[in-house]
Structure 1
Amino acid sequence: MSWYRVCRSSDVAVRSMQNFPVNGIEVNLYHLEDGWFATSDICTHQDCSLSDGDIDGNEIVCRCHGGAFDIRTGGATRMPCTIPLETFSVRIRNEFIEIEIEP
């Protein structure tokens, strides 16, 4: 696994997300009140981009069909989604956000 720098911590406001291509994978970086989280951008139900979705509490809601996922765990929380999202480790180093992904 390798760490990839994606942005400064000041670039993503609390209660928001931003999409980044990281080593060939589209990743959504979420900044919640209690920390930073990262998931795959692609909904496991119909391959829609979740970066177009809405944050609702601790969930990301897909605009294509209303399904949702837990931002912290990737778990599917609303039908029709049943397969979890891939999640990635996040760390802050010298005010930069880094995401861990297989090279």
Structure 2
Amino acid sequence: MMTGHDTDEGGNETADPRARRAGERDAFAIVGRVATVTAILMYVSYIPQIIGNLHGDKSSPVQPLVAAINCTLWVVYGFFKKERDLPVVIANLPGILFGIFAALTAF
């Protein structure tokens, strides 16, 4: 019988599904924000590599160049999909800039 509530494995009624979905949305929003911040930090971490490259301690340009290409694809995806995904765009923009700069300074 449909009561508007879900049941657990024991057949006991659980909280309103709308409340559960709202809680899931809140949790996903938090995860999305944390993921955006950690992605930005990941690309900002190229700064020591860039400084080393500029001081003559050259490193391989391959990884930052591939990261810049990957980030470019994600920015295009997030910006041009039907419902823009701005956290994806924001998280990957620094990767384009820092990845290209780190790759260029490696030469």
TM-score, normalization: structure 1? Answer: 0.26
TM-score, normalization: structure 2? Answer: 0.25
Q: Between Structure 1 and Structure 2, which shows a larger proportion of helix residues?
A: 2
